[in-house]
Structure 1
Amino acid sequence: MRMRMLRRGGLIGLAATAALLAGTAPAWADAGDGTAKGATVDVKLLGADAVKAGPFASAQANSSPKNSFLGVKLNGVLSTGVINASAHRDEDSGEVDAAASIVGAKVDLLKALGAPISADVIEARCTATQQGQHGSAKLAGVNLGALGKVAADPAPNTELALGLAGVNIAKVVFNEQVRGEDGSLTVNAVHIRLLGGVLGSIGSGDVVLASATCGPAGLPIPMASGAGLWIGLGLLGAAAVPAALVVTRRRRLATATA
């Protein structure tokens, strides 16, 4: 009888421990993630070979939270100084943030049309908290030539177009914000698009400068909280009662024998 009670108590104790561990395990089924990319080039200019390069300085919260690249030099397309990328997830709050920045960027794609693009600093950033997601872009020392002007902190999806003979052949989007089907938010500080297939086209493709993506924030469960805590405590209590009975019975037997 004693052995049966001890076995039962041991099994209940194991179940209680499992319940407590379930209560302490954080809910990272879809914990959220963040990525950042400094620059990506994928263009085909008329009369020239296709240029596909990057992403330069790629970072990811789940694997490589920081990355840097000394500089890019793609003749006739893009040159930069130092590129930095970072992505981070707070394990306690579940919050995610990602950022990418480029120093000394110069884009020559539109130079022949009077619109060389240059900037001292280009930055994209996104954050994801329990209240939602937010993205922003920062620009400093920007020169857009014939494209015109843009604010240092452009509104989301600010677009400037460049045309020839009344036909748009390129457009530049600042602080481009795109919502993914997975609930993520991507912020591209500068997205240059060449609109191939139209009159006067100089080529087709895209150049993205400073990009940050944030998935929804994670939802960590506090240590031993909620249902897991109460179930675990209840089972531990159930295990303690038969154990106490066994000890009491042993004492009584020992007294009777004496």
Structure 2
Amino acid sequence: MRSALLRGRTVAVAVPALALLATVTPSAMADEAPAGSAYGASAAISLLPGVLGGKGIAVETGKLAASSTSGKHSADVVDVPLKGVITAKAITSSAEQDGAHGPVTAKAAIVDATIPLLAGLAGSTPKTSVISSECKSTPQGVTGTSKLLGLDLGKIGNLELGTPPNQKIGVPEVLQVIVNEQIKHPDGSLTVNALHLKLLGGQVTGALGSGDIVLASSTCAKVAGGGEPTEPTKPTKPSEPTKPSQPTRPGQPSQPGHPGGGNTNTQPPAGGPAQVSVVPAGAPETGDGSEAAGNAR
């Protein structure tokens, strides 16, 4: 049992037993955040007197069905009753990383959920068949998506499938609903909340209270080597080999333009490149050339 101060009165609040299933992973106490993490649902709200027929209560569940790459890699909870706030058939989450510094995937999902807390505003109990979020981190960057199948918020409003990130609907001073919420953090990580309900704590008719309810949340950190891949350097085209000069017969003047002008010396310059094929004296000038080839240097 714990006490919560609400409008000048102290109200005893029982934390839902289901919250005890929220496991604190070793990464929760680590100096560095895990590369990936996810959870199915969380609620931290203070309800006004009369809401849900009570005198006013505070509900704080922690992160239900929590998982991370540095702790429990998957988690699930079935038959979720959050004290009349939310019900669900099942909530699940998972977080995986390929190797110590490889790509990261984190995801969370809620199946057959209802939100009795919003029934008064919606005109009926809002419901959805599937709420899910997913993020992925690779060297090329971090991306996120979310799905809300069969979402029916009644009078509050509805959004079509494929809604862009961070779309908002709701009731002024009472409630704000953020669909496909995507939060980019200064360290490059990304959080995707499929559905985020904000109770605005207003004093108008129909006010519910204050606080936040998050459904299907996934977070992925930036992995090493992030950024666009660079274009590989193209190999340099090899230069054309230099053609050997026409061999000079013994005693025959060299061709015009040949190094040395009319010099009849057939030996290559001392220390110079061996670009001249020398035919040794006495070698036959006809035939298959096997002897000359065998003596060429």
Which TM-score applies when normalising by structure 2?
A: 0.59
SS at match of 1:218: coil
SS at match of 2:64: strand
Structure holding more strand per residue = 1
Cα distance in 2 for residues equivalent to 1:101 and 1:117: 17
Structure 2 unmatched ranges of 5 or more: 1-31, 50-55, 227-297
Partner residue in 1 for 2:218? 212
Letter in 2 for 1:149: N
Q: Which of the numbers 116, 128, 136 marks the counterpart of 1:119?
A: 128
Cα distance in 2 for residues equivalent to 1:157 and 1:176: 4
Partner residue in 1 for 2:204? 199
Q: Which runs of 4+ in 1 moved over 3 A?
A: none
Cα distance in 2 for residues equivalent to 1:64 and 1:44: 30
Of the two structures, which has the highest relative contact order with CA contacts closer than 8 Å and spacing of 6 or more? 1
Given that 2:96 and 2:105 are in contact with CA atoms closer than 8 Å, whether structure 1 keeps it comes out as yes
Q: Which of the numbers 142, 147, 151 marks the counterpart of 1:138?
A: 147
Q: CA deviation at 1:110?
A: 1.6
Pair 50,93 (structure 1): closer, same or farther in 2 beyond 3 Å: closer
Partner residue in 2 for 1:46? 48
Q: Which of the numbers 59, 64, 70 marks the counterpart of 1:56?
A: 64
Q: CA deviation at 1:219?
A: 4.6
Structure holding more helix per residue = 1
Partner residue in 2 for 1:96? 104
Given that 1:96 and 1:128 are in contact with CA atoms closer than 8 Å, whether structure 2 keeps it comes out as yes
Pair 92,46 (structure 1): closer, same or farther in 2 beyond 3 Å: closer
Cα distance in 2 for residues equivalent to 1:93 and 1:215: 11
Given that 1:94 and 1:219 are in contact with CA atoms closer than 8 Å, whether structure 2 keeps it comes out as no
SS at match of 2:214: strand
Q: CA deviation at 1:168?
A: 3.3
Cα distance in 2 for residues equivalent to 1:148 and 1:86: 31
Pair 218,69 (structure 1): closer, same or farther in 2 beyond 3 Å: farther
Which TM-score applies when normalising by structure 1?
A: 0.68
Partner residue in 2 for 1:19? none
Letter in 1 for 2:178: V
SS at match of 1:112: helix
Partner residue in 2 for 1:154? 163
Whose radius of gyration is greater, 1 or 2? 2
Q: Which of the numbers 171, 174, 192 marks the counterpart of 2:176?
A: 171
Letter in 2 for 1:95: P
SS at match of 1:56: coil
Pair 122,31 (structure 1): closer, same or farther in 2 beyond 3 Å: closer
Letter in 2 for 1:78: I
Identity of aligned residues (%): 38
Given that 2:121 and 2:156 are in contact with CA atoms closer than 8 Å, whether structure 1 keeps it comes out as no
Cα distance in 2 for residues equivalent to 1:53 and 1:142: 23
Q: CA deviation at 1:176?
A: 0.3
Q: CA deviation at 1:183?
A: 1.9
SS at match of 1:110: helix
Q: CA deviation at 1:141?
A: 1.5
Partner residue in 1 for 2:83? 75
Partner residue in 2 for 1:108? 116
SS at match of 1:70: strand
Letter in 2 for 1:75: K
Cα distance in 2 for residues equivalent to 1:138 and 1:215: 21
Pair 135,49 (structure 1): closer, same or farther in 2 beyond 3 Å: same
